[in-house]
Amino acid sequence: MRNLARMTGHALAAVALLAASLPAAAESAAPAAPAATPAKEDLRKLADAVLAESYAADGPGAAVVVMQGGKIVYTGARGMADIAGGKPITPDTVFRLGSITKQFAAAVIVQLAQEGKLSLDDPLSKFLPVYPQPGASATVRQLLQHTSGIQSYTEMPGVMNPVSTAIPRTTETLVALFKDAPAVSKPGEVWAYNNSGYVLIGAIIEKVTGKAWHEALEERITRPLGLASIRDGVAGEAANPAMAQGYTGEATAAAAKSQYIHMSAPGAAGSLIGTVGDLAKWAQALHHGKVVDAAHYAMMIAPTQLPAGETAPYGLGLGLNPLRGHAAVGHSGGIFGFETDSIYLPEADVFVAVFANSDEPRTGAGVVMRRIAAAAIGDPYPAFTRTAPDLAALEPFFGVYPVTGGGERRFYAKDGKLYSQRSGSRALEVFAGGDNRFFYGPSTLSWFALRRDADGTPVMDFAPNGETPLQTAKRAGPIPPEAAAVAVPREVLERYAGSYALGPFTLTIAFTADGTGLTGQLTGQPPIPLIPTGEGEFKADGVEARLIFEGSEGPATAVTLDQGGMKQRAPRKGD
């Protein structure tokens, strides 16, 4: 499930709540021709270095596998599977897979379609006759592709709070959580990641096979392929000596055990566990004709067609996002205590998986996975060496740059440091990397280059997630001045302090340590200072987000988060 722990937190993740002429210095928009595949020892050195840079040895960490041509060419691990117990992670450590589960459930459905036991174009109503419209009209294919329009239950208020996630669920009771919720869109109209769709896929498997969805999976796939570690988490985690402890945080001192979740709660959307090695075996089988036939495999890796003629880069349980311009098939996963990612690169017949045992790791599993995968195919991401920036030379480049698809990115200096901030996100420190390129550190692959165009206008060439083609934007102007802070009496601030229900999360408004101001803190995130800008209005420090409180007397009844063009209303929680 992506991300089961923080699904709606992405809109709010940023609130964590919340005169010199520079020449061009950017990659070509076309992918570079792959270099020779690195020698096994060279790959090991690089992958070991990436792990060392990404995770602390004594905190939560990760396991990695690289397979090429059906053979394991690298396994590695760093960090602790159990910090208190002093147990290190190894390549044989078992992790929660999260939404990587979806491709297994999809494969069972596709097998059933291949056998003629169902059609991908059958409506949900054929299997669940009492399911209400319009969701009942969604086809099996639309459930698999995230175009059903059904409400994703992990985004519904209260579903992901600690009390709810601790409740054991059956497929039937999971469906009951969302079946009467208003539809988000009509079936087939919009692509929107949806965990409810895969719970329903589990229900269809159970209806057709007469077995629990994970029992059908074991019978059809994991047992025949010898994937001993890939199991349903409910039974598989119990007393499993190879199972990693899941954490929230990135280092020994800060890491805490993650929120508890009964592993029946994700259902077929995310409840499997396993090792990186068994996932590699699975990938070898899936991508080489051992699971479904060629025609049905082609369906699994075909992009989703949308009504206006556009496509979404998602097949049947598999994502289709390129790496360094190379075709790729994969899926990530996120669930309380764990973050996972995997990718298959058909041109080089390379598979890479990275499993981390923190849902807030120092470096995301996807960043580590992509760095190692790019190196494994001989087309590594740019490497940067931090240099001292010339702030005076950069001053003409400070300002606002439009972002492809909407919004803006700001580039500026503050207290001698460089920062970049996208609309609706928190400000991130950036570092000069030489050749007029700037990067964000090891936690992201994104970087940008600065130059001037023919008429002298400053230009930013941005590489999102390190990928090409670059997004080019001309400087639109200086950064507008911020609204001045206003003085607010403590008795007024007291009206705003409290807890608010922002979807499945809690937004806590509390006093600063000195009692003169307020902070806002979303579940699982650090507190952010709030700066008063008007009556009942605050901005989050370092984040392009506003909080507007309701009510003129007594405790505020609700607060609205205005961020990135989205407004989310959060009512005050009862005591």
Note whether residue 87 is domain-resident. no
Question: For residue 83, what are its two tokens?
Answer: 């910090």
Whether the per-residue pLDDT at 371 is higher than 60: the answer is yes
3 state SS of 348: coil
Instruction: Report in angstroms the alpha-carbon separations of 353 from 245, 274, 275, 386, 486.
Output: 19, 12, 9, 29, 50
Note whether residue 483 is domain-resident. no
Residue 10 and residue 507 in contact, taking contact as beta carbons nearer than 8 Å: no
Q: Are residues 285 and 390 in the same domain?
A: no
Q: What are phi and psi of 114, to 5 degrees?
A: -60, -35
- Tens of pLDDT, residue by residue over 190-210, are 999 999 999 999 999 999 999
Q: What are phi and psi of 379, to 5 degrees?
A: -135, 65
Residue 26 and residue 452 in contact, taking contact as beta carbons nearer than 8 Å: no
Q: Are residues 216 and 318 in the same domain?
A: yes
Average pLDDT over residues 337-341: 97
Whether the per-residue pLDDT at 28 is higher than 50: the answer is no
pLDDT for res 20: 30
- Tens of pLDDT, residue by residue over 141-193, are 999 999 999 999 998 988 988 999 999 999 999 999 999 999 999 999 999 99
Note whether residue 285 is domain-resident. yes
Residue 13: band (very low, low, confident or very high) from pLDDT cuts 50, 70, 90: very low
Q: Are residues 148 and 291 in the same domain?
A: yes
Q: Are residues 182 and 307 in the same domain?
A: yes
Q: Are residues 346 and 293 in the same domain?
A: yes
Note whether residue 281 is domain-resident. yes
CATH number for the domain harbouring residue 213 = 3.40.710.10
CATH number for the domain harbouring residue 434 = 2.40.128.50
Note whether residue 33 is domain-resident. no
Q: Are residues 434 and 316 in the same domain?
A: no
**What contacts 192, CB < 8 A, 6 or more positions away?**
146, 147, 149, 152, 184, 185
Last residue of a domain, one of 474, 498, 528: 474
Give the Cα separation of 566 and 575 in Å (integer). Answer: 28
**Other C-beta atoms lying within 10 Å of the C-beta of residue 469:** 15
- Tens of pLDDT, residue by residue over 30-68, are 344 445 677 788 999 999 999 999 999 999 999 999 999
Residue 2: band (very low, low, confident or very high) from pLDDT cuts 50, 70, 90: very low
Question: For residue 184, what are its two tokens?
Answer: 């988000």
Give the Cα separation of 380 and 43 in Å (integer). Answer: 11
Domain count for the chain: 3
Q: Are residues 388 and 372 in the same domain?
A: no
- Residue linked to tokens 């995310």: 270
Share of the chain above pLDDT 70, in %: 93
Residue 388 and residue 432 in contact, taking contact as beta carbons nearer than 8 Å: yes
Name the DSSP class of 275: -
- Tens of pLDDT, residue by residue over 398-432, are 999 999 888 899 999 999 999 999 987 888 999 99
Q: How many CA atoms lie within 13 A of 518 on its CB side?
A: 31
Q: Are residues 305 and 422 in the same domain?
A: no
pLDDT for res 32: 42
- Tens of pLDDT, residue by residue over 261-293, are 999 999 999 999 999 999 999 999 999 999 999
Q: Are residues 110 and 182 in the same domain?
A: yes
Last residue of a domain, one of 376, 397, 424: 376
Find the domain containing 256 and state its range: 95-376
Name the DSSP class of 84: T
- Residue linked to tokens 């009492």: 130
pLDDT for res 140: 98
pLDDT for res 544: 78
Last residue of a domain, one of 435, 450, 474: 474
Question: For residue 96, what are its two tokens?
Answer: 């929660």
- Tens of pLDDT, residue by residue over 519-573, are 999 876 788 999 999 889 999 987 878 999 998 889 999 999 998 778 899 999 8
Instruction: Report in angstroms the alpha-carbon separations of 364 from 111, 123, 351, 361, 414.
Output: 33, 37, 18, 6, 27
* Element (DSSP H or E) covering residue 518: strand 518-522
Per DSSP (E only), the strands in 433-517 are: 437-439, 447-452, 458-463, 471-474, 498-502, 505-511
> Order of strands across the sheet with 545-549?
498-502, 505-511, 518-522, 528-534, 537-540, 545-549, 558-563, 566-571
Question: For residue 99, what are its two tokens?
Answer: 């939404």
pLDDT for res 552: 81
CATH number for the domain harbouring residue 538 = 2.40.128
Note whether residue 194 is domain-resident. yes
- Residue linked to tokens 């009862």: 574
Give the Cα separation of 7 and 165 in Å (integer). Answer: 14
Give the Cα separation of 154 and 86 in Å (integer). Answer: 33
Amino acid of residue 456: G
Q: Are residues 458 and 317 in the same domain?
A: no
Q: Are residues 292 and 365 in the same domain?
A: yes
The CA angle 391-396-398, to the nearest 5 degrees, is: 75
- Tens of pLDDT, residue by residue over 301-319, are 999 999 989 999 999 999 9
Note whether residue 84 is domain-resident. no
pLDDT for res 36: 62
3 state SS of 155: helix
pLDDT for res 524: 63
Q: DSSP readout, 391-456?
A: HHHHGGG-EEEE-TTS-EEEEEEETTEEEEEETTSB-EEEEE-STTEEE--TT---EEEEEE-TT-
Mean confidence (pLDDT) of the chain: 90
Q: Are residues 496 and 445 in the same domain?
A: no
Note whether residue 160 is domain-resident. yes
Instruction: Report in angstroms the alpha-carbon separations of 142 from 139, 146, 187, 205, 461.
Output: 5, 6, 7, 15, 37
Residue 25: band (very low, low, confident or very high) from pLDDT cuts 50, 70, 90: very low
